[in-house]
Structure 1
Amino acid sequence: MTTKKFDSYSHLLDRTARRVKGYAQQRFTTGNFDVTVDQWLILKSLDDDRYLKQKELAELTGKDNPTLTRIIDLLCKKGLTERVMHKDDRRSFTVHLTEPGKAKLLELSPRVNEIRMKAWENLTEHDYEQLKTILNKIYQNLEP
């Protein structure tokens, strides 16, 4: 693949990712979700009574540590998450959903799914499978 073609594809991928996130954030704002897209990502990652160390949460969500710390601080302030001392390591904490956090997740999940479906509305099942395959290959190519 030529560098010019690669740059074009990279631009399309970046542009699309920004459009998807921007569209979602606009809908979160106008829909009075009371959380941002990034905060939603953290809440969703903590679903199923998960207790995750901040480092695990950072890896799972692709957020750097300072950004993740700010997001968790805001979610704790809203009462949606809390930090708990790690049971085996008193120097670290785990993060998990509070009952209001679980309720927020339950309340917003159908609305978030509607937002996500907007991006997929003109894609066939075959389109989706191809896209998933390609994105997984790109992701695997960049594994450390």
Structure 2
Amino acid sequence: MTQEQFSKYSFLLDRTARRVKQYAQRKFKLEDFDLTVDQWLVMKNLSENELLSQTELAQMVFKDQPTLTRIIDILSKKGYVERIPHPQDRRSFQLVLTETGKLKVKELKPKVAFIREKAWENLNERDFEEFKRILNTIYKNLE
């Protein structure tokens, strides 16, 4: 592949990722979800995992520590996330959804799924499999 082709494909990948996030953020705002896309990703990951450290969560959502700290602070103020002292390390905390946070995730999951389905319209099963294969290859190349 030439450098020019590589640049074109990288641009397409970046452009598409940005468009997906912008579309989702617009829908979150229009439907008054009371969350940003990044806040949703944090809550979704907390709902799928018990008692995560901030470091573990940062790796899952691909955020640096200062950015994740700001997101957690906002979610805590909204009453969706709670910091619990770590039983083995007094200096750190584990993160958990509150009951309100769990209800919010349950309420929004089908709505978020519907928003995501828009991006996949007009693609068939073979398209999905090829897309998944390509993305996994790119991901593994960068390990």
Q: Please say if 1:64 is aligned against 2:64.
A: yes
Structure 1 match to 2:124: 124
* Deviating 4+ runs (over 4 angstroms): none
Gaps of 5+ in 2: none
Q: Distance in 2 between matches of 1:24 and 1:122?
A: 18
Number of positions where the alignment pairs a residue of Structure 1 with one of Structure 2: 143
Deviations 1:3-42 (A, max 9, x none): 1111000000000000000000000000000000000000
Q: Where does 1:12-23 land on structure 2 (aligned, <5 Å)?
A: 12-23=12-23
**Structure 2 counterpart of 1:79, one-letter code:** G
Q: Check conservation: 1:43, 1:101, Cα contact below 8 A.
A: yes
Q: Distance in 1 between matches of 2:66 and 2:79?
A: 20
Length-normalised TM-score, structure 2: 0.98
Deviations 1:77-103 (A, max 9, x none): 000001111111111111110000000
**What percent of counterpart residues are identical?**
60
SS of alignment partner, residue 46 of structure 1: helix
Q: Distance in 1 between matches of 2:86 and 2:122?
A: 45
**Structure 1 counterpart of 2:6, one-letter code:** F
Length-normalised TM-score, structure 1: 0.97
Gaps of 5+ in 1: none
